[in-house]
């Protein structure tokens, strides 16, 4: 009897061994992925999102699908092919995908639109033509790239919400973090203030008429000119004004009206804002002429005030025109730039003078022009 019992036990052991040898292969667990990650586009609770799936297989072979399991707290809209995919490694075309995806990633080019299943909390992405995967190679693809309502992070906040990534060959558990959007956020609000800027520069503090030598009664004498240059972020441009302390060139040594080469009158040629045509030798006259220099990067439009816009009347460049506007005791607009910002637009302000053969001789004829500007914010 004792011998029989031992025989039965030995037979049982043999049978058990045979059963383990012939168990179907599908009963074994999948291998583990070397690496897996799911990057969500948004991590705040109750927010529609898409993301990126990346994985590195550890088992050689082909796969017909990639299944991403999301936390049970997430909400999915069940549907066939309702989760769009994209395999663009670098949508911004700035770094060949090395920054948008992990460095060295390859597009899972055969991946198809996913099927969402809210009951199982999975999205199954078919891989056409049973794509053969290379062990140790990192594969990535984007899903639901426009963050439609097909996937929502749900209202549960946590930092260890479980999910997984699986192919036909390997799988890997992963964790998701969902933030409350109150004490923890996934977005940074960046704010800044651009201050009003108005940079006003005169090219020189003095100007001589003519630019070299003495006044000549046989010509219209003209100074080199002083530039008025403006850089401003004022949305509607800028305006410049000028006024004259003497309303002419005054000689202190001579004094009185005799020692004054007076300003041309305002709009002397008839019609408001029309400059005066100067005639050599016919009278002692003093006036202002203004031209423009346009910067190619400004968005405003330059213009000279009609009283001083000498080139509008004879079509000549500022250097040869014989017109001039009044030098007044109070500020008058000489020009400016309108309708946009200014990146170095400038006016060129010149003084023009005629004398006669009887204008009293003196070396101290002078005037002081005050030139100011303002941005039109």
* Torsion over CA: 331, 333, 335, 337 (sign): positive
Do the domain assignments include residue 75?
yes
Q: Which two tokens stand for residue 285?
A: 């006259």
For 15-55, how does the pLDDT look when each residue is reduced to its tens digit (9 = 90+)?
333 223 333 333 334 789 999 999 999 999 999 999 999 99
- Do residues 206 and 144 share a domain? no
Percent of the chain with pLDDT over 90: 80
pLDDT computed for residue 18 by the predictor: 29
Query: Would you place residue 268 in the very low, low, confident or very high pLDDT band (cuts 50, 70, 90)?
Result: low
pLDDT computed for residue 129 by the predictor: 84
The residue that leads in pLDDT, 89 or 279, is: 279
Query: Would you place residue 267 in the very low, low, confident or very high pLDDT band (cuts 50, 70, 90)?
Result: confident
The whole-angstrom separation of Cα 152 and Cα 148 is: 9
Do the domain assignments include residue 17?
no
pLDDT computed for residue 315 by the predictor: 73
- Do residues 263 and 347 share a domain? yes
- Pairing mode, strands 139-143 and 106-107: parallel
Count up the domains in the chain and report the number: 2
pLDDT computed for residue 95 by the predictor: 66
Average pLDDT over residues 242-264: 97
Cβ density class 204-216: b for 16+ within 10 Å, e for less: eeebebbeeeebe
Cβ neighbour number for residue 80 with a 10 Å cutoff: 11
pLDDT computed for residue 272 by the predictor: 61
The per-residue pLDDT of the chain, averaged, comes to: 89
Do the domain assignments include residue 145?
yes
Q: Give all strands of the β-sheet with 31-32 in edge-to-edge order.
A: 31-32, 170-178, 158-166, 61-69, 122-133, 111-117, 79-83
Do the domain assignments include residue 81?
yes
- Do residues 167 and 314 share a domain? no
The residue that leads in pLDDT, 26 or 178, is: 178
Environment class of 109 (CB within 10 Å of its CB; exposed 0-12, middle 13-18, buried 19+): exposed
Q: What is the CATH number of the domain that holds 145?
A: 2.60.40.290
For 354-373, how does the pLDDT look when each residue is reduced to its tens digit (9 = 90+)?
999 999 999 999 999 999 99
Query: Would you place residue 10 in the very low, low, confident or very high pLDDT band (cuts 50, 70, 90)?
Result: very low
- Do residues 340 and 240 share a domain? yes
Do the domain assignments include residue 130?
yes
- Pairing mode, strands 170-178 and 31-32: parallel
Do the domain assignments include residue 25?
no
**Is the previous residue joined to 210 through a cis bond, with omega within 30 degrees of 0?**
yes
- Do residues 291 and 148 share a domain? no
Query: Would you give the end-to-end CA distance of the chain in angstroms?
Result: 112
The whole-angstrom separation of Cα 90 and Cα 38 is: 17
Q: What is the pTM of this model?
A: 0.71
Rg (CA), the chain: 43
- Do residues 129 and 256 share a domain? no
For 153-168, how does the pLDDT look when each residue is reduced to its tens digit (9 = 90+)?
999 999 999 999 999 9
- Do residues 47 and 122 share a domain? yes
CA angle 104, 107, 111 (to 5 degrees): 150
| CA nearest to 165, candidates 256, 66, 60, 261 | 66
pLDDT computed for residue 3 by the predictor: 43
Average pLDDT over residues 102-114: 94
pLDDT computed for residue 12 by the predictor: 34
Range of the domain at 35: 30-178
pLDDT computed for residue 98 by the predictor: 64
- Do residues 112 and 225 share a domain? no
DSSP string over 17-60: HHHHHTS-GGGSPPEEPSEEEEEES--BTT-B--EEEEEE-SS-
- Do residues 207 and 158 share a domain? no
pLDDT at 269 over 90: no
pLDDT computed for residue 13 by the predictor: 31
Do the domain assignments include residue 295?
yes
- Do residues 346 and 279 share a domain? yes
Do the domain assignments include residue 15?
no
Query: Would you place residue 271 in the very low, low, confident or very high pLDDT band (cuts 50, 70, 90)?
Result: low
The whole-angstrom separation of Cα 170 and Cα 180 is: 33
For 296-352, how does the pLDDT look when each residue is reduced to its tens digit (9 = 90+)?
899 999 999 999 998 887 777 776 778 999 999 999 999 999 999 999 999 999 999
Q: How far, rounded to the nearest angstrom, does the alpha carbon of residue 166 sit from its chain's CA centroid?
A: 41
The whole-angstrom separation of Cα 175 and Cα 156 is: 14
Average pLDDT over residues 226-236: 97
The whole-angstrom separation of Cα 360 and Cα 260 is: 9
325 DSSP assignment: B
- Do residues 135 and 224 share a domain? no
Question: Given 178, 207, 230, which residue is the final one in a domain?
Answer: 178
pLDDT computed for residue 26 by the predictor: 34
Percent of the chain with pLDDT over 70: 89
The residue that leads in pLDDT, 58 or 20, is: 58
The whole-angstrom separation of Cα 152 and Cα 46 is: 6
pLDDT computed for residue 168 by the predictor: 93
- Do residues 133 and 91 share a domain? yes
CB 323 within 8 A of CB 278: yes
Question: Given 178, 206, 239, which residue is the final one in a domain?
Answer: 178
pLDDT computed for residue 19 by the predictor: 29
């Amino acid at each position: 009897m004792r011998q029989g019992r031992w025989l039965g036990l030995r037979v049982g052991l043999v049978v058990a061994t045979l059963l383990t040898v012939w168990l179907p292969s599908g009963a074994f667990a999948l291998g583990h992925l070397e690496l897996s990650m799911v990057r969500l586009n948004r991590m705040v609770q109750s927010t529609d999102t898409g993301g990126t799936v990346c994985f590195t297989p550890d088992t050689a072979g082909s796969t017909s699908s990639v299944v991403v399991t999301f936390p049970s707290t997430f909400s999915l809209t069940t549907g066939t092919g309702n989760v769009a995919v994209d395999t663009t490694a670098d949508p911004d075309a700035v770094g060949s995908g090395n920054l948008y995806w992990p460095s060295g990633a390859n597009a899972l080019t055969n991946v198809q639109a996913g099927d969402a299943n809210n009951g199982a909390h999975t999205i199954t992405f078919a891989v056409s033509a049973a794509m053969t995967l290379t062990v140790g190679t990192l594969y990535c693809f984007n899903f639901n790239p426009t963050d439609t309502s097909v996937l929502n992070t749900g209202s549960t906040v946590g930092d260890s919400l479980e999910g997984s990534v699986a192919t036909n060959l390997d799988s890997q558990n992963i964790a998701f973090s969902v933030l409350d959007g109150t004490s923890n956020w996934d977005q940074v609000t960046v704010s800044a203030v651009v201050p009003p800027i108005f940079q006003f520069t005169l090219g020189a503090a003095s100007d001589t008429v003519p630019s070299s030598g003495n006044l000549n009664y046989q010509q219209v004498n003209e100074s080199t000119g002083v530039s008025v240059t403006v850089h401003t972020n004022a949305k509607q441009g800028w305006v410049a004004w000028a006024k004259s302390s003497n309303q002419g060139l005054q000689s202190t040594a001579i004094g009185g009206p005799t020692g004054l080469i007076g300003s041309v009158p305002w709009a002397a040629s008839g019609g408001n804002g029309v400059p005066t045509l100067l005639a050599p030798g016919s009278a002692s006259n003093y006036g202002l002429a203004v031209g423009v220099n346009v910067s190619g990067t400004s968005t405003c439009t330059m213009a000279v005030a009609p009283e001083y816009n000498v080139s509008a009347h004879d079509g000549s460049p500022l250097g040869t025109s014989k017109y001039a506007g009044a030098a007044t005791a109070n500020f008058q607009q000489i020009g400016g730039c309108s309708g946009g910002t200014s990146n170095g637009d400038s006016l060129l302000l010149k003084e023009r003078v005629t004398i006669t053969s009887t204008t009293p001789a003196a070396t101290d004829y002078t005037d002081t022009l005050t030139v100011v500007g303002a941005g039109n914010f």
